[in-house]
Amino acid sequence: MGIETQSQPSPPAQAGNWKKGIFISLFIVALSFLYAFLRYNVVRNVPYEQIPLFISNKVFALSSLIIIGSAFLLGPLAGFFPKTFLPKLYLRKPLGLIGFGVAALHSFISLAILNPSYYPKLFDASGKLNFVGETSLLFGILAFAVFSITAISSIPAIEERMRPEQWKRIQRLGYLVYFFVLMHVAIMGFKGWFDPASYKYGLVSISLISVLFIIFVFILRILAGVFKKKN
């Protein structure tokens, strides 16, 4: 997925482009892991046995959101600092596609462990999803569905058959994906943000970090639009 925010489309993803995208993504995954490990295993005593799926799922959720956001940020940053960021615009496609892959991992793991013992706040006493669970998951699934369309349209054989304007229009659906993710995470995490216990040692919840990051990306995008109109 190229996540177009500037007038020129990204060049087709090539091996060299991928190396840097993979390196940046691995760095984001490592930082997210460090944060999740500190907040959940160290501060909240989540057992180490739950690192392979429960903790990793939080890591993949947060890192996919930041990787996608980095792809979005490159457009506005190229508007503000063209010398530094115009040459980096090619990273949007590898970052968008890697973000999609990591979101897929998060979705599969979530479905594998989606039960009341892992996620009590999403279920009612009878074991069915409660309203928070149903609505937040609906937005997660919508995000993933629309994200799949943008990713599929970036498969070279499919992209080549589209007009550049058509392809760019599909990539703009990325913003809808980000809006759905905002809803997915905000509905799920909202209640916890008002619980003082959730701020132990200043380590705020991953859902709050996610929502603030998404809002930051949207604000920068809007500012870049205003800045572009003025110049």
Contacts with ligand HEM, residue ranges (CB under 6 A) = 57-58, 61-62, 64-65, 103, 106-107, 110-111, 114, 119, 137, 140-141, 143-144, 147, 177, 181, 184-185, 188-189, 205-207, 210
* Least spacing, CB of residue 102 vs ligand HEM, in Å: 8
How many CB atoms sit inside 10 A of residue 26's CB? 12
* Distances in whole angstroms, Cα of residue 154 to Cα of each of 4, 45, 96, 167: 12, 42, 10, 8
Instruction: State in angstroms the smallest separation of the CB of 166 from ligand HEM.
Output: 23
Lookup: tokens for 118: 């892992």
Residues 6+ apart with CB under 8 A from 157: none
**Please, what is the minimum distance in Å from the beta carbon of residue 15 to ligand HEM?**
26
Looking at the Cβ atoms of 100 and 167, the one nearer to ligand HEM is 100
Q: Which is nearer to ligand HEM, 86 or 132 (CB)?
A: 132
Q: Which two tokens stand for residue 131?
A: 């309203």
Of 1 and 78, which has the nearer Cβ to ligand HEM?
A: 1
Nearest approach, Cβ of 125 to ligand HEM (angstroms)?
Answer: 19
HSE-CB for 142 with a 13 A CA cutoff: 18
**Residue closer to ligand HEM, measured from CB, 141 or 203:** 141
Closest CA to 136 of 194, 36, 211: 211
Residue partners of 121: CB distance under 8 A and separation at least 6: 132, 133, 188, 191
CA distance 3 to 89: 10
* Residue where the block lists tokens 């503000």: 80
What is the nearest approach in angstroms of ligand HEM to the Cβ of residue 86? Answer: 27
Q: How far is the CB of 55 from ligand HEM (least distance, A)?
A: 8
CB of 86 or CB of 149, closer to ligand HEM: 149
**Cβ nearer to ligand HEM, comparing 60 with 167:** 60
Residue 81 CB partners (closer than 8 Å, separation 6+): none
Least distance in angstroms from the C-beta of 151 to ligand HEM: 10
Looking at beta carbons only, is 86 or 179 nearer to ligand HEM?
179
Closest CA to 173 of 143, 200, 194: 143
